[in-house]
Amino acid sequence: NDLYAVVGNPISHSKSPRIHSLFASETGEPVEYTAIQAPRDDFAGTVKQFFERGGKGLNVTVPFKEEAWKLADRRTERAENAGAANTLYLDGDGVLVADNTDGCGIVRDLLINHGVTLNAARILVLGAGGAVRGVLGPILAEHPGAITIANRTVAKAEALVELFTPVAGETRLSACGFEQPSEPFDLIINGTSASLQGDLPPLSPKVIAEKTVVYDMMYSLQTTTFNRWALEQGAQIVHDGLGMLVEQAAESFRIWRGVSPATGPVIDELRND
Ligand code: ATR
């Protein structure tokens, strides 16, 4: 079997080994996929050792995505824009290549799994950290009408606007604090880590209309804190990030194996855990 792994710290809760072994059995690809906890101060050594032992590809998760991006000898365009990498592999010449499939993952989950229209949509993105930077490029490629990036630290949202303006095309990009937006959006994407501290961004309820689609990049067995708030404000459609997680994994699998696994059955299986 060809060897793959996810590297992070901590790593024991990662769903990636489960997801990729479901892809392997579904496609019949000879893939063995494990989880590796890298020491915080030796991500590079862990990666080097993995590929020296004949490993074929790595997924990278918290806190090493930026380091993976730096470590690579070559980056795909979407990894370049994301400033972080979640997928590593060696090309035919043994060059370490970094890709980022997170943005592709959320876009496919929205478009294909949930039937959400991004083209011309008015989108409110909450957060301006690595998670948001990782997905903005692929979302912009769907030509939304406008993206408002709201963040606790407004300067970080402004920096993202500046960074993505060259690839924004006709999409209007703007930055603000959480309190400012006061009219309904077509889609609200929560990319903050506020819920990890049990916090909610202090948004006006006016950002939510009945038709607003709410998407929390987090997921948990229970409805997420943010989605619960949105439902209380009258949102009818809320999704969490489980589909994104499976879709980003599927895109990594496709990069490594040249085969696209079906994601629907895997999402259903994880949902029922
Ligand atoms: P990630 O990789 O998850 O994006 P990050 O780069 O540290 O992690 O970014 C975390 C994001 O969540 C940031 O937008 C952060 O806001 P700041 O830029 O102001 O720090 C946001 N965030 C974290 N905790 C938050 C909280 N309690 N309330 C609101 N926003 C929060």
| pLDDT tens column, 13-72 | 999 999 999 999 999 999 999 999 999 999 999 999 999 999 999 999 999 999 999 999
The residue contributing the CA closest to ligand 1 atom 24 is 194
Grouping H, G, I as helix, E, B as strand and the rest as coil, residue 44 is helix
Cβ contacts of residue 80 below 8 Å, gap of 6+? none
CA dihedral in degrees (227, 175, 168, 147; nearest 10)?
A: 30
Name the residue at shortest CA distance from atom 25 of ligand 1: 194
CATH of 2-100+247-271, one of 3.40.50.10860, 3.40.50.12780, 3.30.450.40, 3.40.630.10: 3.40.50.10860
Residue range 101-129: average pLDDT?
Answer: 98
Q: Which residue ranges have their beta carbon within 6 Å of ligand 1?
A: 127-131, 151-153, 156, 192-194, 197, 199, 201
With beta carbons less than 8 A apart as the criterion, state whether 135 and 110 touch: no
Q: Do domains 2-100+247-271 and 103-240 have the same CATH topology?
A: yes
DSSP category for residue 95: -
CA of 194 to the centre of ligand 1 (A): 6
Residue located nearest, by CA, to atom 21 of ligand 1: 192
Q: Inform me whether the pLDDT recorded for 174 exceeds 90.
A: yes
Å from CA of 201 to ligand 1 middle: 10
Domain boundaries, the chain: 2-100+247-271, 103-240
Span 57-97, pLDDT tens digits: 999 999 999 999 999 999 999 999 999 999 999 999 999 99
Using DSSP's 3-state secondary structure scheme, residue 45 falls into helix
Q: What is the radius of gyration, based on Cα positions, of the chain?
A: 18
Domain 103-240 has CATH 3.30.43.10: no
C-alpha separations of 114 from 57, 102, 107, 244 in Å: 29, 17, 10, 11
